[in-house]
Amino acid sequence: MFTRKFGVEVEFTGITRKQAAETAAAYLNTTAAYAGGYYEAYEVRAPDGRAWKFMYDGSIHCQRKENRRLISTDSQYSVEMVTPILRYREDIDTLQGLVRRLRKAGGFANSSCGIHIHLDGAQHTVRSIRNFINIIASHNDLFYKALQIAPERVRYCQKMDLWLVEQMNRVKPETLKQIEDIWYEKYAGNRSGHYHNSRYHFLNLHSFFHGNHTVELRGFNGTLHAGKVRAYVVFALALDHQALTQKSARYHKVQEENEKFAMRVYLNRIGFIGDEFKSCREHLYKHLDGNAAWRYGSRENVRSHIGIHNQVNGESSNAENTDNGGNSSEDR
């Protein structure tokens, strides 16, 4: 999954676009240039020829720090960093290093800021797009709680529309054109406009049909914490890989009696395995309830659950009747 191309948009404030571009230029050992245009952008062209852009975004509440207080300020402090096309193994260290520099320079994200991750759509098919819709729909509640999507941002990254999900699974489209028609069916007007209302969902397919042919994930709060940025990128790439490689995906809501355990099992399933992704897992568990190690919350709860289950089925509740001295393999 780490061979896939992606791009990241990171919204923040605290410093001006010019300051952000100059900070990036110093880190990348190059220079910054004012590109202008509607977004009043600055461009930083790295030695490898790729451009990092720092643009205006009207959704950002512009602030800066003064005498240890946050005060509102002008639109120069609205910053959206748009990365060039990246690959994980080759570029994640550069992305994280730049995020750290911007934070050190005084940048910060407030509740109006978000992170959007664009995934290359070149390999996506009818099957994989339907999978993606169902994967997000079935985990709506778990993902939103894990990512702690700020109330101020919900209108920019809404949950999957239930009507859309049901239509996709009832009609079972066989072409991308059919998927496109269902995606836009509830919206009037021109489909090709950049700021089409259909784009403001956790999973945005407007960019796939009428943008740069990317699948966009918009459900990440803004941050200049390099570890969180990495966790979000890995999560997006893993979801993308699941959609591309899985034969099919159910859209019915997943039941999470233990949220942390459910997320742990899911993350392991999609590739978050081993020490390399330990910190990524921790960022995604942090705000969930429950116990990541035990499905029923603790060893004692496991034994209690097994006892109740066995009594219902007329079996002995003695722990010796469970494998490994009472520790069922599914409870770890």
What b-and-e string marks burial along 55-88, b requiring 16 or more CB atoms within 10 Å of the CB?
A: bbbeebebbbeeeeeeeebeebbbbbbbbbebeb
pLDDT of residue 331: 32
Q: Classify residue 301 by burial, with Cβ atoms within 10 Å: 0-12, 13-18, 19+.
A: middle
What pLDDT, on the 0 to 100 scale, is given for residue 313? Answer: 53
218 phi and psi, to 5 degrees?
Answer: -110, 5
Contact 4, 120 (CB under 8 A): yes
pLDDT at 254: 73
* Bridge partners for 45 per DSSP: 51
pLDDT at position 117: 98
Contact by Cβ (8 Å): 117, 233: yes
Distance CA 12, CA 61 (A): 9
CA dihedral 153, 181, 135, 85 (to 10 degrees): -70
Give residue 324's pLDDT: 39
Question: In whole angstroms, what is the distance from residue 300 CA to residue 255 CA?
Answer: 22
pTM (2 decimals)? 0.87
The pLDDT score that the predictor gives to residue 201 is 94
* Mean pLDDT, 10 residues at a time, the chain of 332 residues: 93 98 98 96 97 97 95 98 97 98 98 97 97 95 92 89 94 96 90 88 95 95 97 97 95 81 91 92 92 68 47 45 37 34
